[in-house]
Amino acid sequence: MQVEEILHRIAKPFILSGIYKDEKTALTDLTLDYARRKIEQYDNIIIMLKKKHGCDFDQFTERIKNNASVETEDDWIEWKGANEMRQAWKNANKMIICNE
């Protein structure tokens, strides 16, 4: 199945139900909504880790340097990943908006 056909099949129910006027609007809105939800998901992880450790990521990195426990290393890896994924989703979101 071609990408265009897959996208058409995804958008079609939203257009037929009158939610969106065309495929581009439907797919753009759905994608932007998904990106916003992913950004929020990573924001929540970052907020939780900031509260847990009482500092931001850079301060936490300095604090555990050369004396991290397994738990703090796990938190550092999760925090680093959340920061990177949040930024990746923000970049994708921005590219989608610029291409509208």
Look at residue 81 and tell me whether its pLDDT is greater than 90.
yes
Look at residue 99 and tell me whether its pLDDT is greater than 90.
no
- Using the Cα atoms of residue 9, residue 15, residue 16 and residue 21 in order, give the sign of their dihedral: negative
Q: How many helices (H) and strands (E) does the chain have?
A: 4, 0
Q: How far is Cα 71 from Cα 77, in angstroms, rounded to an integer?
A: 10
pLDDT of res. 23: 95
CA distances from 85 to 21, 37, 78, 81 (A): 32, 12, 10, 6
pLDDT of res. 1: 74
pLDDT band, residue 15 (cuts 50/70/90): very high
Count CB neighbours of 37 within 10 A: 10
Task: Convert the pLDDT of each residue in 26-79 to its tens digit.
Answer: 999 999 999 999 999 999 999 999 999 999 999 999 999 999 999 999 999 999
- Domain positions in the chain are 28-98
